[in-house]
Structure 1
Amino acid sequence: MKRKYIQVRWHGRGGQGAVTAAMILSEAAFEEGYRGVTAAPFFGAERRGAPVIATNRFSWRPIRTYSLVVEPDIVVVLDETLVETVDVTAGLAADGLVLINSRRHPEDFPFSDRFTVATTDATRCAKEAGLVIAGAVISNTAILGGFARATSLVSLESLEKALANHFHGDALEKNRRGGQLAFERTILAGECTLECA
Structure 2
Amino acid sequence: MPGKLFEVRWHGRAGQGAKSASQMLAEAALDMGKYIQAFPEYGAERTGAPMKAFNRISDEPILLHSSVEKPDLVVVIDDTLLGNPDIVAGTDENTIMIVNTVRDSNWVRQKSGFKGKICVVKATDIALEELGRGTPNTVMLGAIARVTGVIELKYVEEKIRDMFLKKFGEEVVQKNIRALHRGYEEVRCDA
TM-score norm. by structure 1 comes to 0.87
Offset of 1:112 from its aligned partner?
Answer: 7.1
Q: Cα 1:23–1:113, aligned 2, differ >3 Å: closer, same or farther?
A: closer
- Give me the whole-angstrom Cα distance separating, in 1, the residues matched to 2:184 and 2:61: 28
Stretch deviating more after TM superposition (166-175 or 119-128): 166-175
Q: Could you report, residue by residue, the CA deviation over 1:47-93 in whole angstroms, capped at 9, with x for unpaired residues?
A: 11110000000001121223211211100000001002343111024
Cα distance in 1 for residues equivalent to 2:151 and 2:84: 30
1:159 is matched with 156
Unaligned runs of 5+ in 1: 191-197
Secondary structure of 1:150's counterpart equals: helix
Partner of 1:115: 116
CA distance in 1, matches of 2:114, 2:24: 30
Report if aligned partners of 2:88, 2:113 keep a CA contact under 8 Å in 1: no
1:99 to 2:110 alignment: no
Query: 1:12 touches 1:78 (CA, 8 Å); kept in 2?
Result: yes
Which portions of structure 1, spanning 4 or more consecutive aligned residues, are displaced by more than 6 angstroms? none
Corresponding residue of 2:137 = 140
CA contact (8 A) 2:123 2:139 kept: yes
**Larger mean Cα displacement after TM superposition, 52-61 or 81-90:** 81-90
Go from structure 1 to structure 2 and tell me whether the alpha carbon gap of 1:61 and 1:117 turns closer, same or farther (over 3 Å shift). Answer: same
Establish whether residue 17 from structure 1 lines up as the match of residue 17 from structure 2. yes
Amino acid at match of 2:51: V
Q: Report the RMSD for the aligned CA atoms in angstroms.
A: 1.8
Counterparts of 2:119 and 2:8, CA distance in 1: 14
Letter in 2 for 1:11: H
Counterpart code for 1:125: I
Cα separation, 2, equivalents of 1:150 and 1:102: 16
Please identify which structure carries the higher helix content.
2
TM-score, with structure 2 as normaliser: 0.89
Q: Would the aligned equivalents of 1:131 and 1:175 in 2 still touch at CA under 8 Å?
A: no
Q: Secondary structure at the match of 1:72?
A: coil
Q: Aligned pair 1:27/2:27, yes or no?
A: yes
